[in-house]
A and B are shown apart, each in its own frame.
Chain A
């Protein structure tokens, strides 16, 4: 398999080779990988790549999936324009 042509994160165009190299270097949490590569920071917010990267980490480190996947997320779900937030405030006044 050509690892550099196997895409993990479609939103940010990150390939599996990048992820595997990071894990080999000891970067073994989703949070760290996200901060270094921007994986999971695109429109889908990690729904596509999250489980795939978690599996890679699990295979290389033996860590259980449960510990790797973090269900924490913060509002808002998806992108919102400041204008849309402001429009909502106007409504209340």
Chain B
């Protein structure tokens, strides 16, 4: 029988964060991870994270996990057991796990369960054909093993996972034939949607999959449009050719272990389905049992990190009373509230209020109307007009165009302007506002924006030439004086331009900053370049 103060089940962001917090508070911690390395979903997240700079926003998930691994490895009182599957949590406080062909028994004083989530499945005809993948599997194959799962992929679901995986598939050299979404509007962050739209990937809202075609493997799919009541519109079927169908239709909390423990649950669709009942300090109804991360509610990794810390601190407070942990606990709760405070956090807030029975906090101001942007992922001229300087200013100096039109919890741009030209936020969900008197168009902000939504424009010269600077995350990288295709917000080629500078040092961390000379008339249309493949 192994004894410890705290047993943490799950070595993803929530579990590691809990182990670190409890370890720093002096607890003897045992951290179990089923896979051969720590990190959970973070090990596949090659994109930059949103959120607050204080919680490593602007950093790629794969870099965050490297930092976390270093921190946890330095704590001598935290033991990490990899390739270890937790099997059971019993009433007498004993837990069992499978390690190296042996069932081990552990008797901890408290447990943090951070087992994450499980992908939802979708019923449609031929959904068992080879080529039907979950988005998690596609990401694992691509980003961990370097295996391209298919050439032409249809993505089902436009939440952040569907949008991000679509982008990553293009980075890996695949073609995404479309992203379909049952709801009338795009589910994920609109900056992610805009990123894939300008690569030419269509997004079909109010659309679902009827069937997959193929005998031994997927060769295509039949799709159908939905009306405002989510009913199929007769005769609206259409087909696409593809060799894989990737399901990104949401996650369910992985509650199996907790279900053994006597923990109580509530069905709250906003949080992902059956979720454990817990208090604001991540404590369940079972004494000494805490939870964190996607298991408690389906959210982003930043929330998992914070919840993990909170659970670790709660456990430490209970096991080793007398330490002054409350101040940090309150701070973490404040960060979590801020993260969930904006319009995109409304679903989570409503779910949490069902969980705790608390009244909903005052809803943030927002419009319910489905505008063009949230249906298409393409900014309208009206959107754009709101972020441009006046005509006189355009001529005097280069300037930044921040195409961030949706309130999401994210603030790296504010902290990365060397001239303080992006006005400080009062709330992490604020939209960035550029002070064009201070902006020099230097472009420092471009590579720091997790949404790749910042561009700089230089139209100060006379004549018909102007320059645009944009982020570029594909291979091959363009080179100076190379002629590249210019793509607009829908991925349409609108002309060609000549590359004038390519910034690709370790500081850019693979988000290359490319400046292209283009026709003046195109500066507000071009948002992507395409390197012309040499034959």
Residue ranges of A at the interface with B (Cβ–Cβ < 8 Å)? 1-2, 5-8, 10, 13, 16, 45, 47-49, 51-52, 64-66, 69, 71-78, 80, 83-85, 87-88, 91-92
Contacts and interface: CB of A to CB of B under 8 A. Distances in A.
Contact of B85 (A10, A77, A88): A77
Interface residues of B, number: 40
Interface stretch (B67-75, B251-259, B465-473): B251-259
Nearest to B262: A72
B420 to A, nearest CB: 49
A76 B88 contact: yes
Contacts of A51: 120-121, 252, 273
B230 interface: no
Contact of A84 (B86, B98, B210, B258): B98
B92 to A, nearest CB: 12
Nearest to B34: A78
A47 B118 contact: yes
Main SS at interface, chain A: loop
A6 B127 contact: yes
Contacts of A87: 101-103
A73 B259 contact: yes
A75 B126 contact: no
B87 to A, nearest CB: 4
B357 to A, nearest CB: 15
A48 to B, nearest CB: 5
Interface of B: 1, 85-90, 96, 98, 101-105, 118, 120-121, 123-128, 210-211, 252, 254-260, 263, 265-267, 269, 273-274
Contacts of A85: 103
A75 B103 contact: no
B1 to A, nearest CB: 7
Given A49-B121, A80-B98, A91-B104, 12 more contacts: A1-B124, A5-B126, A10-B121, A47-B256, A48-B118, A51-B120, A71-B263, A75-B89, A78-B85, A85-B103, A88-B102, A88-B105
Give the top 7 A-B pairs by smallest Cβ distance, nearest first.
Answer: A75-B88, A66-B267, A73-B259, A88-B103, A76-B87, A87-B102, A7-B128
Given A6-B123, A52-B121, A84 B256 contact: no
Interface centre among A2, A6, A47, A75 (most CB of B within 10 A): A75
Nearest to B122: A52
A75 B90 contact: yes
Contacts of A13: 128
A42 to B, nearest CB: 13
A84 to B, nearest CB: 5
A44 B1 CA distance: 28
A34 to B, nearest CB: 15
A58 to B, nearest CB: 10
